Every structure is written in C-alpha cells, then in structure tokens.
Amino acid sequence: MRGNSRSSKNKNNLKDIHKADIPDPYFEKRLRLMNRLKDELNLSERVYKAMLKVPRHLFVPFNYRDDAYADTPLPIGKDQTISAPHMVAIMCELLDLKEGHKVLEVGTGRGYHAAVVAELIGKKGKVITVERIEELARKAREVLESLGYTNVRVVVGDGSKGFEEEAPYDRIFVTASAPDVPKPLIDQLKLGGKIVLPIGNFMQNLVIVEKDEGGEIKKKPWGAVRFVPLVGEYGF
Ligand code: SAM
C-alpha cells in the first residue's frame, strides 16, 4: 500500500517537470547539422530555426537515434524512410510557407516533415498529413502529440486522392514519387497555391506546380531526387 502511494507521488513529480527543463542530449549535433545545411543550401532564417527546433531523433526508431543528425534518410519500419534533412529543408523553402497557411502533406512517415512545417505555419496554421500505413500514422500521432503539436492532424488513407474534407489548401507537398501530379491535388489547391512533389519512377524529378489566380497551372522542374513510390489510386 505504502509502495503504491510512493510510486504515484513520483509519477506526479515527473509530470510537473516541463519538457523544456529536460536537457536535449542531441542539441549540439542538430546545431552542427543545421549550420552546415544553412551554408550549403543558403537556407532562410525561418527554415533554419524551424529545423533547429524539431528533435529529429524522436521521429526515428530508438536504435537510429544516434544517426538522426547525419544528413541521410533512415529506415522507419514497414520498408519506408524518413527523408534526409536537406530534402526537408529544400521542400520547405520551395513551398514558401507563411504563418497561418493550411497545408496538406501526402506521406506522413513518422511525422518529422509535418512537425517542421507546423513550426513554419504557426499555431494559426494547420497541417493535415495523410499516411497509408496505419502503424506509421499511429507512431507519428504519438510523437507529435507528445511534443505539443496541436496544429497537426494525422489521417490514415490514400493521400494520392488528397483529403477533400479539409480542402482547399494553400500548399500541398508529397513525400513519395508519383507518376504525375494527381488531379485531386490540383483540384484541392487554392488559387495562388503551390504543390511540391517528386514525379517519376526510376528517374525522379522534384516539380513545383503553381496554380495562378485564374486557375491556370504551371509546372517547373527543380532537379533530380530519390523518393519511395507513391502508391494508391493516383500512384504507381
Ligand atoms: N514525410 C516523411 C518524413 O517526415 O520524413 C517521409 C515519408 S516517406 C519518404 C514516404 C511515405 O509516403 C511513406 O511513409 C509511405 O507509406 C507514404 N505513402 C506512399 N503512398 C502513399 C499514399 N498514397 N498515401 C499516403 N501515404 C503514402
């Protein structure tokens, strides 16, 4: 009886510790990585600060934590990967994210990229991120909630069809390579909005799709990339 009351007291004490009081053992590594990326990619201050804030090591399986600040994709289970930090940075820059934007991500993985975007759009914005693999979506939801990201909604489903319920979106990005721009994504994009997505099978290109105020669509290639395939109705 006494043992029980003592352990519940300890639990309460732990609950009182604010997350910010717990030292982040990976901060120095994250800082080194971000300083390097800032120079190499000429990153904006906004993207640099957002990525410096998000603890990537919490979005990878436990045994990969020590590798989380190498600039490389890492396995996250179910044959999927977390994108390399430089790719997350480049896509965020291309998306030109503003405070208050409503953003759709197709391909949550474990939720790292969604967390970075959530930092960039702030509490008045919202990220809706769709993942087809339930277990990955559940893990993403858990870590995002534990870090206090109240502006991210994780949905399980076929994101190649977009997510009509929350449309239209200011920005859409896809983190798996598609055969072409899925039509539902174009339809769910606001006038003046932008989509960034990889297109192609073996040879992939990152493409920026812009919808002007008249609804006209323009596509610009950015360069060669390597992503896992988008599967589903508008995927491979
Ligand atoms: N955004 C992730 C990050 O933060 O690192 C990277 C995700 S990983 C490169 C691509 C993800 O897309 C995988 O988790 C895969 O299951 C998912 N995916 C592939 N096709 C999909 C679809 N049609 N709908 C939703 N998710 C899909």
Domain ranges of the chain: 2-225
Task: Check residue 183 and give its pLDDT.
Answer: 98
Task: Check residue 20 and give its pLDDT.
Answer: 52
162 lines ligand 1 (CB under 6 A): no
**This prediction's pTM:** 0.91
Looking from the CA of residue 105, the nearest atom of ligand 1 is: 1
**Cα 185 to Cα 176: distance, rounded to the nearest angstrom:** 14
133 lines ligand 1 (CB under 6 A): yes
CA distances to 29, 108, 170 from 138, rounded to whole Å, are: 27, 10, 26
Question: Could you tell me the end-to-end alpha-carbon distance of the chain, in angstroms, rounded to an integer?
Answer: 59
Q: Name residues of the chain where pLDDT drops below 50.
A: 1-18
Question: Kind of pairing, strands 126-131 and 102-106?
Answer: parallel
Mutate to test the pocket of ligand 1, among 76, 79, 87, 132 (most ligand atoms within 8 A of CB): 132
**Cα 43 to Cα 204: distance, rounded to the nearest angstrom:** 23
Task: Check residue 23 and give its pLDDT.
Answer: 75
219 Cβ contact list (under 8 Å, min separation 6):
181, 207, 208, 209, 210
DSSP letter (8 states) at residue 78: T
Q: How many CB atoms lie within 10 A of CB 155?
A: 17
Among residues 8, 83, 146, 160, which one is catalytic?
Answer: 83
CATH superfamily of the 2-225 domain: Vaccinia Virus protein VP39 (3.40.50.150)
Q: How many CB atoms lie within 10 A of CB 169?
A: 24
For the chain, give the mean pLDDT: 92
Q: Which residue is closest in CA terms to ligand 1's atom 14?
A: 109
Task: Check residue 106 and give its pLDDT.
Answer: 98
**Cα 214 to Cα 193: distance, rounded to the nearest angstrom:** 11
182 lines ligand 1 (CB under 6 A): no
131 lines ligand 1 (CB under 6 A): yes
